[in-house]
Amino acid sequence: MMLKIAMLAAVVSLTSCASGPKPADWQLNAKGAIERAVAAYLEGNNRVEAAEIAKAREEISSTGRADLMARAELLACASRVASLVFEPCAGFEKLRQDAPPAERAYADYLAGTLRPQDINLLPKNQQISAQAAITRAQPAPESIANPLARLIAAGAVFQAGQASPALVQSAVDAASSQGWRRPLLAWLGVQQALAEKAGDSVQAARVQRRIALTLKP
């Protein structure tokens, strides 16, 4: 049967075929570990995220499948782009030569190096933002219902230097609705910088108060 990691629906699907109706133990274990890892990262808990990613890698490695491992690594990296942390996706790059074209395209999308001809290899809800990043058009982030997918798309557009106030607000709303402290603080920082650049001291002060409220005591 097909097993889809729920949180990968916004990014790429971690799938595996098995005979019979019951998923293999590694599938269930990997699913839980990946979900917990992403949640921990977005909540700002690096220790838990590292432990859960290690568990997921251990489970997936038992299959010997580079494509599944590549997808798990991409999700970890996508959560960073959602939080405006732009760094090489080292875990994926070790697997790039054995990864399918769609996974290579997604890695390039996260890195801001996607080729126009590869846009159609991305998940549907990321293709608009990828096209916008390349053409310098403004996407409509609110059209992406999934909060994580919306944040990833907004991060990709931000990386391309096209973060409009509307896009930033959409990202703030997405992170806030889920209680994801790390991306919320990152996007609030961008929102404050935009207000300061526009000379709107009232808005900048309002955002600063929200940042202070969001920070852990």
Q: What is the pLDDT of residue 146?
A: 86
Band of pLDDT at residue 131, cut at 50, 70 and 90 = confident
Sole residue written with tokens 């404050």: 192
Q: What is the mean pLDDT of residues 34-63?
A: 96
Q: What is the average per-residue pLDDT within 104-117?
A: 92
Q: Which of 33-37, 81-85, 193-197, 212-216 has the lowest mean pLDDT?
A: 212-216
Residues 6+ apart with CB under 8 A from 146: 9, 10, 125
Q: Which residue has the higher pLDDT, 28 or 130?
A: 28
CB 148 within 8 A of CB 184: no
**Residue 61 binned pLDDT confidence (cut-offs 50, 70, 90):** very high
**Burial bucket for residue 29 (CB in 10 Å: 0-12, 13-18, 19+):** middle
CA atoms within 13 A on the CB side of 118: 15
Question: pLDDT for 157-174, tens place per residue?
Answer: 899 888 889 899 999 999
pTM assigned to the model:
0.86
How far apart, in whole angstroms, are the C-alpha atoms of residue 74 and residue 72?
A: 5
Determine the Cα–Cα distance for residues 176 and 187; give it in Å rounded to an integer. 10
Q: What is the pLDDT of residue 126?
A: 80
- Euclidean distance between CA atoms 135 and 128, whole angstroms: 10
On the question of pLDDT at 31 being above 80, the answer is yes
